[in-house]
């Protein structure tokens, strides 16, 4: 699998070369250049999630209802069809069909502050079961947020950080990000 990562302050894009159904090149080689991008809230509108099945030549809006009008901060594509998006207010969304439908996954409650103050900023996965999310809770007693799942996001567990600061990104060697 080949992958390319591009990111800026406002948009994060991840391109993966994968074999998948429903998003193929015309040459029927079975590989497609699939990309995902997440964006912050725009003036007068909500954050956006878009994807491309052809190496960025064309993009399709895949913004899920589960993100509402929140900043979308991180994306992790497991395959061309499965992946997570994380956003503000402790929000985690997961898709199994390339973004046509999204499932809202419950994050653990933040300690010492309302959930709405929490911002999830980065997500990475080793496989379809094991993933981590990091972020910040600027109003809480514990500012650092680290969540981990071992069951594909059915249950997210809070992990303790050795430092009391917010995190923006998380990465593991060999992870899909």
Q: Name the DSSP letter for residue 80.
A: S
Vertex 14: Cα angle to 21 and 94 (nearest 5): 65
Q: Note the pLDDT tens digit of each residue in 128-153.
A: 999 999 998 877 677 888 999 999 99
Q: Note the pLDDT tens digit of each residue in 104-136.
A: 898 886 555 556 668 888 999 999 999 999 998
Q: How sure is the predictor about 20, in pLDDT bands with cuts at 50, 70 and 90? A: very low
CA distance 111 to 125: 24
Three-class DSSP category at 121: strand
The torsion angles phi and psi of 156, rounded to 5 degrees, stand at -105, 135
pTM metric for this prediction: 0.74
Asked if 101 contacts 93 with a C-beta cutoff of 8 angstroms, the reply is no
CATH of domain 3-23+30-158: 2.130.10.10
pLDDT for residue 32 is more than 60: no
Give bridge partners of residue 104 from the DSSP assignment.
93
CA distances from 9 to 58, 82, 164, 168 (A): 22, 24, 23, 11
How buried is 11 (Cβ within 10 angstroms: 0-12 exposed, 13-18 middle, 19+ buried)? middle
Domain residue ranges in the chain? 3-23+30-158
């Amino acid at each position: 699998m080949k992958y390319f990562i591009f990111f800026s302050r406002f948009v994060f894009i991840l391109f993966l070369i994968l074999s998948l159904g429903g998003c193929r090149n015309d040459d029927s080689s079975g590989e497609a250049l699939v990309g995902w991008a997440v964006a912050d809230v725009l003036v007068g509108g909500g954050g956006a999630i878009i994807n491309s099945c052809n190496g960025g030549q064309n993009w399709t809006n895949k913004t899920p209802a589960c993100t509402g009008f929140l900043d979308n901060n991180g994306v992790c594509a497991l395959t061309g069809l499965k992946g997570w998006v994380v956003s503000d207010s402790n929000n985690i969304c997961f898709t199994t069909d390339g973004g046509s439908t999204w499932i809202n996954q419950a994050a653990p409650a933040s300690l010492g502050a309302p959930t709405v103050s929490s911002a999830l900023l980065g997500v990475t996965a080793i496989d379809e079961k094991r993933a981590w999310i990091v972020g910040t809770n600027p109003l809480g007693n514990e500012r650092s947020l680290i969540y981990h799942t071992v069951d594909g996001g059915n249950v997210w567990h809070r992990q303790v950080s050795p430092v009391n600061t917010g995190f923006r990104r998380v990465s593991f060697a060999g992870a899909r990000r």
